[in-house]
Amino acid sequence: QARKIQVLLPHITEVLHDGNRGIKMKALVVFRNVMRHLKRKEASPIAVQLVEELLPLLDDESSQMRELSISLFRDVVETVVGKDKRRMKKKVRRSLLPLFFHMHDETDSVAK
């Protein structure tokens, strides 16, 4: 099923830009589930693209959205293999400062 849904991921990514908060959160759950069921070699290029889409969500008003996006961010960073690691490192470096600030988030689950 995950491989079949993989075709829809670019369309689901668009929801992260335009959807309301509830739909965005459901899209993040879909990404989490699909990424967990793909082989790392298949998930790696998707992870590199997805990490950029997650950056704006790290600062969302909703603590649930922040927690979910940070959790998915961690998962996709760990998924990357091979030549995608270099591209991912560049993207992760840009997000370290915003992630550092979230370590002091007022919501304990986000800070964790």
Question: What does the pLDDT read at residue 8?
Answer: 78
Residue 22 confidence (pLDDT): 92
What would you report as the CA-atom Rg of the chain, rounded to the nearest whole angstrom? 14
Instruction: Please return the burial class of 82, using the count of CB atoms within 10 Å of its CB with bins 0-12, 13-18 and 19+.
Output: exposed
Q: What is the pLDDT of residue 102?
A: 59
Average pLDDT over residues 51-80: 88
Residue owning tokens 């950029």? 52
Amino acid, res. 105: D
Judge whether residue 94 has pLDDT over 90: no
Report the pLDDT value the prediction gives residue 110, as an integer from 0 to 100.
Answer: 62
Kindly tell me if the per-residue pLDDT of 84 is higher than 60. Answer: yes
pLDDT digits (tens, 9 = 90+) for 5-51: 777 788 888 888 887 899 999 999 998 988 888 888 988 998 998 98
- Helix 63-79 / helix 40-54 crossing angle, nearest 10 deg: 140
Q: Which pLDDT band holds residue 1 (cuts at 50, 70, 90)? A: low
Contact (Cβ atoms closer than 8 angstroms) between residue 2 and residue 34:
yes
Averaged pLDDT of the chain:
83
